[in-house]
Amino acid sequence: MARHIYIHIPFCEKKCAYCSFYSVADNSPQKAYFDAVRKELEHIGNNISLYPDVNDDKRDTVYFGGGTPSAVSETEIRDILGRVREIFGIGDDAEMTIEVNPHSLTPEKALAYREAGFNRISIGVQSLTDDVLEVLGRLHDRSGALRALKVAAEAGFENISADLMTGVPGQTVDQIISDAKTLIDSGVKHISMYSLSIEEGTLFEQRYGKDIEKYISQEEDRDMYHALRGFLSENGYFPYEISNCAQKGYESVHNGSYWKGYEYFGIGSGARGYINGKRYSKGDDISAYIEAPLSIEIEEVMDGISKMHEYAMLMLRTSEGVCFSEFLRRFGKDLTEVFGKEIEKNVSDGLLEEDDVGIRLTDKGLDLANIVFEDFL
């Protein structure tokens, strides 16, 4: 049994032009925000018996994401993690991750995170090529990103993950590979690959909109993705999920819990959660959250059928795919009985492969994953 807890920190030093994650570049509500998070945690703590631990995996996980957790005071982060650990009785072997931006990660913050108990750090490197970082409008350059990697290691973080973006206008395969090589040399254990997507309401939408293909074609984007994935794989970073590669033993346990359809608490404005069979949102509005930190909006009540569909779709993201025996154990049904037609169609289209163990995406399927997922949803 295990608990999974996500805490959203909706603050950034500056909003990046491509990003639609919920966050604001405004420090003023921070104090009131963390007081509200403490209220939400206290309420959960007082009612913990209403939230039975139904997950049948082994390790607890806590994930502070954003936004940018490193953009706020480390004292607040430390206090919130301490409360989370106490309220949920988080085990000592838990994976505790904090997301940081290279620009705001200081040696003092990194040390404070270690002392608080974080044992995994995810750094938003994005690129180690200054031209690419400039297109993205990041606050740090290559040397700033390298400094952050060093700061994290010197603070005692051994489990370091880095985010790398691909498909950025002007970016080349050679640059990506050179960036990945530098990351490997710096000792990171895990790399998340984000292919640039043009999100609604962002400045990138105004800048590139539907014309993105004029700046970078789908084909170039896919070339970068496959080159990066292949390079990482050859160098001992196993592509265990569509967008994630890791050395053995360093796969993200927290993200793994999402793909396996386990329940998790989502705390703070901008968070999503899944508890007692209900998927909910905490809303993207800091002021509303400060007013009513306990309020939630139910997005979906998961019945047995939707759980099966979602599980199949999410597990297809992983290299393991959907395993026949695990599906039977979880849902008491044969995978081929439920998804016979979908499997047959996608296998014949070359998007899925099937063997005695289960089904998974082929290389072609990796590029057309959304088409496959739609069939399974």
Ligand X SMILES: C[S@@+](CC[C@H](N)C(=O)[O-])C[C@H]1O[C@@H](n2cnc3c(N)ncnc32)[C@H](O)[C@@H]1O
Given the rule CB under 6 A, which residues bind ligand SF4? 12, 15-16, 19, 21, 23, 66-68, 101, 124
Options 97, 101, 171, 269; binder of ligand X; rule CB under 6 A: 101
Quote the DSSP letter at residue 24.
B
Stretch binding ligand X (CB under 6 A), from 173-181, 191-199, 212-220, 288-296: 191-199
| Residue with the shortest CB distance to ligand X | 124
In the complex, minimum distance from the CB of residue 165 to ligand X, in angstroms, rounded to a whole number: 5
Q: Is 168 in the site for ligand X (CB under 6 A)?
A: no
Candidates 12-20, 178-186, 224-232, 235-243 — which segment interacts with ligand X by CB under 6 A? 12-20
Residue type for 105, please?
L
Work out how close the CB of 199 gets to ligand X at its nearest, in angstroms, rounded to a whole number: 5
Give the other-Cβ count within 10 Å of 185's Cβ.
Answer: 8
Q: Which is nearer to ligand X, 81 or 196 (CB)?
A: 196
Residue 159 contact among ligand X, ligand SF4, none, beta carbon within 5 to 8 Å by kind: none
Taking CB under 6 A as the criterion, the residue among 30, 119, 126, 346 binding ligand X is 126
How remote is the C-alpha of 60 from its chain's centroid? 16
Q: What is the DSSP string of 300-325?
A: EE--HHHHHHHHHHHHTTBSS-EEHH
Smallest distance from ligand SF4 to CB 27, Å: 14
| CB of 75 or CB of 197, closer to ligand X | 197
Q: How far is CA 320 from CA 239, 260, 288, 334, 358, in A?
A: 10, 11, 41, 17, 8
How many angstroms separate the CA atoms of 20 and 205, rounded? 11
126 vs 11: CA distance, rounded Å = 18
Binding mask 15-34 toward ligand X (x if CB under 6 A, else -) reads: ---xx-x-------------
357: left (phi over 0), alpha (psi -120 to 50) or beta: alpha
Task: State the pairing for strand pair 159-166/120-126.
Answer: parallel
Structure tokens at 367: 């590029």
User: Is 358 near ligand X (CB under 6 A)?
Assistant: no
The angle, 0 to 180 degrees and rounded to 10, between the axes of the packed helices 335-348 and 304-315 is 40
Asked if 196 touches ligand X (CB under 6 A), the answer is yes
- Smallest gap from residue 160 Cβ to ligand SF4 (A): 17
Identified binder of ligand X from the candidate list 79, 130, 141, 163, rule CB under 6 A? 163
**Computed over its alpha carbons, how large is the radius of gyration of the chain?**
21
Q: Among 73, 78, 362, 42, which Cα is nearest to 226's?
A: 362
238 and 246 Cβ atoms separated by less than 8 Å: yes
Single residue of 38, 78, 153, 194 touching ligand X by CB under 6 A: 194
Binding site for ligand X (CB under 6 A): 12, 18-19, 21, 65-66, 68, 99, 101, 124, 126, 163, 165, 194, 196-197, 199
